[in-house]
Amino acid sequence: MRVLVTGGAGFIGGHIAEQLAASGHDVTILDKFVPYYDLGIKDHNVEAIREAATANGGSCTLVRDTLTDAELVDDLVADTDVVYHQAAQAGVRKSVEEPAKVNRYNVDGTVNVLEASRKHDVQRVVIASSSSVYGKPEYLPYDEDHPTTPVSPYGVSKLATEQYARVYSEIYGLPTVSLRYFTVYGPRMRPNMAMTNFVSRCLHGEPPVIYGTGEQTRDFTYVEDIRRVNEQLLTDDGADGEILNIGSTDNIDIQTLAEVIRDEIDPSLDIVYDDPREGDAEHTHADVSKANELLGYEPTVDIREGVSKFIDWYRENEDWYDPLVRQS
């Protein structure tokens, strides 16, 4: 099949594109290569996708441009069967600093993708949403009926994204599925996340830094589970028109996460604390029963297994991935 992955040089988009290329599909990546973090990581993502395509009879085409260019998006979608819309201006804290920029990329860009998909009758648009849409919990775990009161412009933009997808499905009959990801982690993840910071600092003999008390909790989802459910949606129409939580149900507080990483790498290190960061949610915890009912989704990697796998991968790829090594 012909597949377009927006943001396909990024972390999640890159893994989805790699999985699809490994299954022999023809993958086009649209990615602006915005230097939000070291672009060498995106280069490695694209290299992995191309290697997967070459080894399995697929293809990989890279378009370095922006999804805010409606004409370009229309041209790319015209030659596409299924769209995976993963591109976004990421980062809760970045969105607090530049809310208008986040709206332009995340909301206007999404409308471009949906409008082109409607015009060219694509088979499905799979939208990347986020647990950030929930904001402060009224109860946990979050189910999809929980009130959506995001506490950052990023969360607002993701809520708008999935709601536009829902409306395009209801009004125009465009098959869409929006997946609310819960703190995805794994190989090639963004280096400015808590988990990567903990691992990097511990590997260099520096104490992990927790922003806030460490009582914040997260539902960490290993990227292999994200890859699997996205590939399933290439042909599975069981969730068309729906919004689904995709998490691990494996809730852990940040203090414990730091301790697990510290203890595996260097138990002698202390843990230090700094001021909390504005816009971060206090707690996330996914109820995935709807995704299980509609798609048979079940997370397969718990947090301690996933952390161990990530640390092993990190050590093997430290020379190009670790920010402290690259700066030295």
When pLDDT is cut at 50, 70 and 90, the band that residue 214 belongs to is: very high
When pLDDT is cut at 50, 70 and 90, the band that residue 278 belongs to is: confident
Which among 147, 154, 144, 155 is positioned nearest to 177, based on CA atoms? Answer: 144
Determine, yes or no, domain membership for 239: yes
Determine, yes or no, domain membership for 262: no
CB-CB contact of 243 with 162 (8 Å): yes
The boundaries of the domain holding residue 76 are 2-182+223-247+281-300
User: What are the backbone angles phi and psi of residue 210, rounded to the nearest 5°?
Assistant: -105, 130
Determine, yes or no, domain membership for 60: yes
pLDDT at residue 280, as a whole number: 74
What string of DSSP letters covers 129-195? EEGGGTBS-SSSSB-TTS--B-SSHHHHHHHHHHHHHHHHHHHH---EEEEEE--EESTT--TTSHH
Q: 84, 134, 142, 154: which one is catalytic?
A: 154
pLDDT at residue 326, as a whole number: 65
State which H helix or E strand residue 28 sits in. Answer: strand 26-30
pLDDT over threshold 60, residue 313: yes
pLDDT at residue 160, as a whole number: 98
Determine, yes or no, domain membership for 320: no
Determine, yes or no, domain membership for 270: no
Determine, yes or no, domain membership for 26: yes
**Which CATH number do you get for residue 178?**
3.40.50.720
Output the CA angle 60-61-67, nearest 5 degrees: 125
Catalytic residue check, 185: no
pLDDT over threshold 80, residue 279: no
Structure tokens at 82: 């299924």
Based on the structure, what is the number of domains in the chain? 1
Determine, yes or no, domain membership for 6: yes
The 10s digit of each residue's pLDDT in 26-69 is 999 999 998 888 899 999 999 999 999 999 999 999 999 999 99
Place of tokens 């904001």: 135
Please state the rounded mean pLDDT for residues 281-297: 94
Determine, yes or no, domain membership for 260: no
